[in-house]
Structure 1
Amino acid sequence: MKIHYDNLIYSLQRAGGISTYWSELTSRLLQDKEDISFTESFNHNVARKTLSIPPHCIFQNKHKQTLISRFQRISLPFKTEFIFHSSYNRVTNNPKARQVVTIHDFVHEKFYGGIRRYLHLHQKNKSINAAAKIITVSENTKRDLLEYHPHLSSQNIAVIYNGVSEDFYPLKDKSIAKKPYLLFIGSRAYYKNFSFTIDVVKQHSDFDLFIVGSALNKKETDELNNKLKGKWKLFSGIDNQLLNELYNNAFSVIYPSAYEGFGIPLLEAMKAGVPFIALNSSSIPEVAGDAGILVNDLDLQQFAQAINIVDAQRQQIVDKGFLQAQKFSWEKSYAETKAVYQSLGL
């Protein structure tokens, strides 16, 4: 079974959930010594740095990834049938390819407009239409897929949950901060409700806010300084060791996102033994199970009540999180992904 991976995602983000997903699959394919090759461009991706891909397996694009090149079809020289799987919605023009695509979410369809939405959907729809098999990372994402593409056959869609790294686990020594803090992780796009998070922390003077993600823009910095001056800290481009320390020392992860294709930070939090407070929306209940605290509305009072519940029932919440996290693993995700490849009969 010949497999070709398009490592486009590493050129589009320095770190993120899709990069984690892609590197976890890749590392296991390499470990199993599968017949795999790669297309990639120069990048500074954190997850890519953890991989030891033999240079002879890489079709290296020596030029920097451009806005145009990410939408172009990839030319590949293979003369016999092979599996092509792109990390982010790119397709190949090789007629021998059996194409697989992973759909992580429908953020652009639901929350964006203009040229950004048009370009994303143009690329995504091409990959969906070219795919012999489609993977979604949650049942919620599968429902969204069939809503936006009702012509698709459900039989060609496989729901494969993300896993969680062994890098996340409870620590004995917890001494990273002088004050208790709430931890916000990931993108700060407007549907993630970062500004609401700031207001939650402002309402609770006992807490600081620790932020894991990309560099702040001026508007975000100004809002933080106006509302939480001296009470916030940003961590960018960090490795899993430090991220695990941040989880372990947090009072709680706060995750008021209105939409998630999956929600890896919630799984990491459970594995590390920290409660989370999240909005009860999209795929989040699939990941959360009966662990953590799910809040029905984006309401300051409801989030305040959730903080009180975490304080009163912390160990019970943590124990439920450990049990829920055991349902997810990258080994399981990898095995189910390989089964999708094998179902194509190559």
Structure 2
Amino acid sequence: MNIFLDNIIFSLQKAGGASIVWQQHLKRLLEDKEFQPHFFEYEDAGLNLFRQLLTIDEGIIDLKSTQFLYLKRYLNFKSVNKIKHIFHSSHYRVENSKNAINVTTVHDFTYEYFINGLRQKIHSMQKNKAINESQGIICVSQSTKRDLLHFLPHISEHKIKVIYNGVDECFRVLNESSNFQKKHEFENYSYSLYIGDRKAGYKNFYMAVDACSLVKSPLLLIGGGELTEAEQYYLKMKLGEKNFAILLGVSGEDLNYYYNNACCLLYPSLYEGFGIPVVEAQRAGCPVIATNCSSIPEVIANKYLAIDNPTPKEISKKINELSLLGNLRKETSEKGMIKSKCFSWENTYHQTKQFYKELYFEE
């Protein structure tokens, strides 16, 4: 079966959730002898951290110039392929060809809910066009499917397949004898973790800081770019200079160690298409304090730690309970490890492959 894959996400991000999903998919597809893959890619794709993990034969890559990429990213492909094939883009593009069976993956509706102005209009226009012109639509959670049908109620549910994201196997519970040179000064199980983006308001970064301030819990930040002056000032004011640290460019193995030894992961986001860090943490035995909204109820194990209306006080209360109540931590860790087994990249790939076949032989 011929399949054409658009790797544009590797040029739109240096890292990020969508890059992880695409890299994990391609990793398996490249080993699958049932497909004859061909790739569209831009010259700067190699700067993406996850593209660097893939080895793709140059002979099956149609390498394109990055000149005017800021415009090209919104343009669909005009194909001259005379053979029937699957076309799957990593970011909301389709192929204009009677021989193409277009597949679009929808991660979330963040722009529609939280962004205003021209950026939102352009993003939504491209996304909606891709969804409308695709024969198959993959949603990464039931929550994302509900959002899709809310914003585009005319789309037939028959075209939609919910396929959950997976979690890397590097995330696991470590034994107590594991040696690791940690890059912070906090005692094990004393610190809370915050992963990723801090800038988007709906992520509630400052709420997480305020919660740690109330219980005097150190806060370890991972990813999300360098701290701004405003963020540094706020962290120093609320926590003190020695009660926070940030680590960038952390590998999966290192992140697993920090999950293993944290009091908890703080994930107070008001909206997620899936929530990969929640599953990663649970696979590593780390309790997760999150919000009870969007996709989180689908992936979190202990609903007691999913807060309906998050506030610093409510979050700090949960941190305190995890610190003081050994049974709660043990129960949460056990539930999380069981729940995390529902999500694997192998399952994600297998279901995506089956969806390709259904679409290919249905046409």
How would you bin the TM-score normalised by the shorter chain? over 0.9
- Residues 158-202 of structure 1 show CA distances to partners (whole Å, capped at 9, x for unaligned) of 011111110111222376343222111122211001111111122
1:315 aligns with 2:330: yes
Cα deviation for residue 81 of structure 1 reads 1.5
Contact kept? 1:258, 1:279, Cα under 8 Å: yes
Contact kept? 1:5, 1:38, Cα under 8 Å: yes
Counterpart amino acid of residue 181 in structure 1 = Y
The partner residue of 2:213 within 202, 215, 234 is: 202
2:260 partner SS? helix
Give the stretch that moved more between structures: 280-289 or 235-244: 235-244
1:278 partner SS? strand
Cα deviation for residue 64 of structure 1 reads 5.3
Contact kept? 1:292, 1:321, Cα under 8 Å: no
Cα deviation for residue 225 of structure 1 reads 3.1
Contact kept? 1:291, 1:320, Cα under 8 Å: no
What residue number does 1:185 align with? 195
The partner residue of 2:163 within 160, 164, 167 is: 160
Give the stretch that moved more between structures: 87-96 or 281-290: 87-96
For residues 118 and 170 of structure 2, the distance between their equivalents in structure 1, rounded to whole angstroms, comes to 38
What is the 5 A alignment of 1:40-59?
40-41=41-42, 42-43=44-45, 44-59=47-62
For residues 154 and 239 of structure 1, the distance between their equivalents in structure 2, rounded to whole angstroms, comes to 38
1:73 aligns with 2:88: no
Counterpart amino acid of residue 130 in structure 1 = E
What residue number does 2:25 align with? 25
What is the 5 A alignment of 1:1-346?
1-33=1-33, 34-41=35-42, 42-43=44-45, 44-63=47-66, 66-172=69-175, 173=178, 176=182, 177-179=184-186, 180-188=190-198, 189-230=200-241, 231-290=243-302, 293-311=305-323, 312=325, 313-346=328-361
Count of residues in Structure 1 that have an aligned counterpart in Structure 2: 346
2:3 partner SS? strand
- Distance change in 2, residues 1:67/1:296 (3 Å): same
For residues 262 and 174 of structure 2, the distance between their equivalents in structure 1, rounded to whole angstroms, comes to 12
Cα deviation for residue 240 of structure 1 reads 1.0
Give the stretch that moved more between structures: 314-323 or 233-242: 233-242
Contact kept? 2:141, 2:164, Cα under 8 Å: yes
- Distance change in 2, residues 1:236/1:20 (3 Å): same
For residues 80 and 147 of structure 2, the distance between their equivalents in structure 1, rounded to whole angstroms, comes to 35
Cα deviation for residue 56 of structure 1 reads 0.9
Contact kept? 1:174, 1:249, Cα under 8 Å: no
Contact kept? 2:272, 2:295, Cα under 8 Å: yes
Cα deviation for residue 218 of structure 1 reads 3.5
Contact kept? 1:13, 1:45, Cα under 8 Å: yes
Contact kept? 2:191, 2:219, Cα under 8 Å: yes
Contact kept? 1:99, 1:130, Cα under 8 Å: yes
- Distance change in 2, residues 1:99/1:319 (3 Å): same
- Residues 182-233 of structure 1 show CA distances to partners (whole Å, capped at 9, x for unaligned) of 1111222110011111111222224233233223333323322332342222
Counterpart amino acid of residue 77 in structure 2 = I
Contact kept? 1:185, 1:213, Cα under 8 Å: yes
For residues 257 and 304 of structure 2, the distance between their equivalents in structure 1, rounded to whole angstroms, comes to 19
For residues 62 and 255 of structure 2, the distance between their equivalents in structure 1, rounded to whole angstroms, comes to 32
Percent identity between matched residues is 40
Give the stretch that moved more between structures: 228-237 or 322-331: 228-237
Q: CA RMSD in A?
A: 1.7
Cα deviation for residue 152 of structure 1 reads 0.7
For residues 300 and 217 of structure 2, the distance between their equivalents in structure 1, rounded to whole angstroms, comes to 26
Structure 2 unaligned regions, length at least 5: none
Counterpart amino acid of residue 158 in structure 1 = K
- TM-score (norm: length of structure 2): 0.91
Structure 1 unaligned regions, length at least 5: none
Contact kept? 1:104, 1:141, Cα under 8 Å: yes
